[in-house]
A and B are shown apart, each in its own frame.
Chain A
Amino acid sequence: MNITPAQPTTHDTLIDARGLIKHYGGHTVIDSVDLTLRRGELTTLIGPNGSGKTTLVRLLLGLERPNAGTVTAPPDLRIGYVPQRIHVDESMPITVRRFLALGGARASGIKTALDEVGAQHVLNAPLQTISGGEMRRVLLARALLRDPDLLVLDEPTAGVDLNGQSELYDLINAVRRQKNCAVLLISHDLHIVMAATDHVVCLNHHVCCSGAPDAVSAHPEYLALFGPKAAHTHAVYTHDHDHAHTVAGDVVPLADDAS
């Protein structure tokens, strides 16, 4: 029997999915998908609308069972999940503070977490009155409060303005480095996402292509999926991470302005 030495902690496998298949009403939404999430790695899942991104995430999170294939994860895996949508009925009187406490957080941590995501001003606001962008931040705070091994974010910047988007991505990246957790990001705004990503998985029911961002954006299947324009507008952004506003293709970095 082969005994392999223990891997360094930065490459711990947290979730290992093999041969996932999921059917819905005769359609195969997920077709033989393999995916591995490792500690410290930021994986971005991209694909057009209806390509099965959300379904794949639901399978990985154990919210749904696959028709075939396996998802292996340690039993004590702590997951911080930021769902795409949340609707809390108007009839429930609940503040942001209470919403965060529902995740199991201690009262002292709540303020700090809200501070971290830049939403401290909504601490005592009724949950139903805050804006879409504030809601994304509050959801992220709830995920962070769990001190997660794995952070799963479904379209985390939907409804957040451009400035806020770069802030959120910087924050996610900082959390990943600081806590050495795995991050799985579902997105279609590729031009912003890819910069900090270690691993891109391009999904269209099956895995079209995957690998490092540069490799994926040059892949013929990627170009076929997102059209010829993707080569330009969705080019991989390889800017330096030190400055704050070099996030979108159409924003000129501050450092360049100054020079």
Chain B
Amino acid sequence: MTWSLDDFVVRALIAGIGVALVAGPLGCFIIWRRMAFFGATMSHAALLGVSLAFLLNINVTLGIIGACTVTALILLSLMRLRVLPSDTLLGLLAHASLALGLVAISFQDTLRIDLLSLLFGDILSVSRGDLGWILGGGAVALAALALIWRPLLSATVHEELAQVEGVRVRLVQAAFVLVMAVVVAIAMKIVGLLLIISLLLIPPAVARRFATTPEVMAFVAALVGVLSVIGGIEASLVWDTPAGPSIVTAATVLFVISLPLSSAIWHALFRKPKKAHHHDH
């Protein structure tokens, strides 16, 4: 096998790894801030972004980033008003934007959108152009995350303490949401909008056990994401399974292996029986 960008597998691997590298660190914050449902809502809004992009004839990635950002900012301001509980707001906006996206798609004369690939991803059809967007967007998102890392960490530990200490919490929060929108947009092609949140949540969940600092957790999460992408794409080629779901399944397998229960079972099954050894003498 030669490593060339003409090979769809190579393009898929590069795209997947590019997304995993930023999804891991970003996902850590989503877990620490308990924003899993928030992320899911943003990924639902991505469909609305796709259909609007087709209707307005603009770039799809930009459409997704726009729709996700607007949805997230509406969410943040509604949450601050405290009119409704936040899980109600999240559920409402997630499904409202999904429905709106589906309705907007139906307005097109000819159906040019492959709905299945939007929902579950189409990593094996990543083009050179897609690759540019994914790597460029991923690099920008990772750089932005590194830039706001410290104030965001401080605001995550205690928002008011950070604010009193001079952190511009709302600005940092808005930047964080924008990074999330970019990552959702570039991950859409990889695993589809229904599975994006798993790519953000599972690698950090695996990493938590092995981490003593926030930075180690982010690094391990990126690594776990990369392993999941490689494993998932390999599996999909060998067993002819859909690539996006295979990547998420690979991540899930890593998660199960990382559970304390798994290591306990491992030890119980394969540990050498030391006491029997003593009795022999």
Question: Do the two shown chains form a genuine complex with each other?
Answer: yes
Are the C-beta atoms of A61 and B208 separated by less than 8 Å? Answer: no
Are the C-beta atoms of A63 and B164 separated by less than 8 Å? Answer: yes
B41 → A minimal CB distance (Å): 20
Q: Does A26 contact B (CB under 8 A)?
A: no
Q: Does B157 contact A (CB under 8 A)?
A: yes
A87 → B minimal CB distance (Å): 8
Residue ID in chain A nearest B208 by CB atoms: A91
A94–B205 alpha-carbon span in the complex (Å): 15
A91–B204 alpha-carbon span in the complex (Å): 9
Quick one: given A83-B158, A102-B154, are A93 and B165 in contact (CB under 8 Å)? no
Q: Does B160 contact A (CB under 8 A)?
A: yes
Q: Does B156 contact A (CB under 8 A)?
A: yes
A99–B154 alpha-carbon span in the complex (Å): 8
Q: Does A88 contact B (CB under 8 A)?
A: yes
A99–B156 alpha-carbon span in the complex (Å): 11
Are the C-beta atoms of B161 and A93 separated by less than 8 Å? Answer: no
Chain B contacts with A in 11-38, Cβ cutoff 8 A: 31-34
Q: Does A258 contact B (CB under 8 A)?
A: no
Are the C-beta atoms of B165 and A146 separated by less than 8 Å? Answer: yes
Are the C-beta atoms of A92 and B157 separated by less than 8 Å? Answer: yes
Q: Does B250 contact A (CB under 8 A)?
A: no
Q: Which residues of A contact B158 (CB under 8 A)?
A: 83, 86, 88
Q: Does A81 contact B (CB under 8 A)?
A: yes
B168 → A minimal CB distance (Å): 12
B126 → A minimal CB distance (Å): 32
B79 → A minimal CB distance (Å): 16
Chain B contacts with A in 136-169, Cβ cutoff 8 A: 150, 153-154, 156-158, 160-161, 163-165
Q: Does A207 contact B (CB under 8 A)?
A: no
A81–B166 alpha-carbon span in the complex (Å): 11
Residue ID in chain B nearest A104 by CB atoms: B165
Total of A-B residue pairs, C-beta within 8 Å: 62
Q: Which residues of B contact A250 (CB under 8 A)?
A: none
Chain B contacts with A in 206-221, Cβ cutoff 8 A: 208, 211-214, 216-217
Q: Does A18 contact B (CB under 8 A)?
A: no
Q: Which residues of A contact B211 (CB under 8 A)?
A: 93
A41–B165 alpha-carbon span in the complex (Å): 21
Residue ID in chain B nearest A126 by CB atoms: B212
Residue ID in chain B nearest A139 by CB atoms: B161
Are the C-beta atoms of B31 and A81 separated by less than 8 Å? Answer: no
B26 → A minimal CB distance (Å): 14
Are the C-beta atoms of B157 and A93 separated by less than 8 Å? Answer: no
Q: Which residues of B contact A104 (CB under 8 A)?
A: 165
A144 → B minimal CB distance (Å): 13
Q: Which residues of B contact A88 (CB under 8 A)?
A: 157-158
Q: Does A95 contact B (CB under 8 A)?
A: yes
Quick one: given A102-B153, A102-B154, are A91 and B31 in contact (CB under 8 Å)? yes
A94–B156 alpha-carbon span in the complex (Å): 12
Q: Does A48 contact B (CB under 8 A)?
A: no
Task: Apart from A94-B214, A102-B157, list 4 A-B contacts with CB within 8 A.
Answer: A62-B164, A89-B31, A93-B212, A95-B213
B98 → A minimal CB distance (Å): 28
Q: Which residues of B contact A91 (CB under 8 A)?
A: 31-32, 204, 208
A69 → B minimal CB distance (Å): 20
A105 → B minimal CB distance (Å): 11
Q: Does A209 contact B (CB under 8 A)?
A: no
Quick one: given A89-B34, A91-B208, A103-B165, are A63 and B160 in contact (CB under 8 Å)? yes
Q: Which residues of B contact A160 (CB under 8 A)?
A: none
Q: Which residues of B contact A79 (CB under 8 A)?
A: 164-165
Q: Does A98 contact B (CB under 8 A)?
A: yes
Quick one: given A79-B164, A81-B164, A89-B34, are A95 and B156 in contact (CB under 8 Å)? no
A59 → B minimal CB distance (Å): 13
- Between-chain CB contacts (< 8 Å), 24 pairs: A58-B160, A62-B164, A63-B160, A63-B163, A79-B165, A81-B164, A86-B157, A89-B31, A89-B32, A91-B32, A91-B208, A93-B208, A93-B212, A93-B213, A93-B217, A94-B157, A94-B213, A94-B214, A95-B213, A98-B214, A102-B154, A103-B161, A142-B161, A152-B164
A99–B212 alpha-carbon span in the complex (Å): 13
Quick one: given A83-B158, A98-B213, are A92 and B32 in contact (CB under 8 Å)? yes
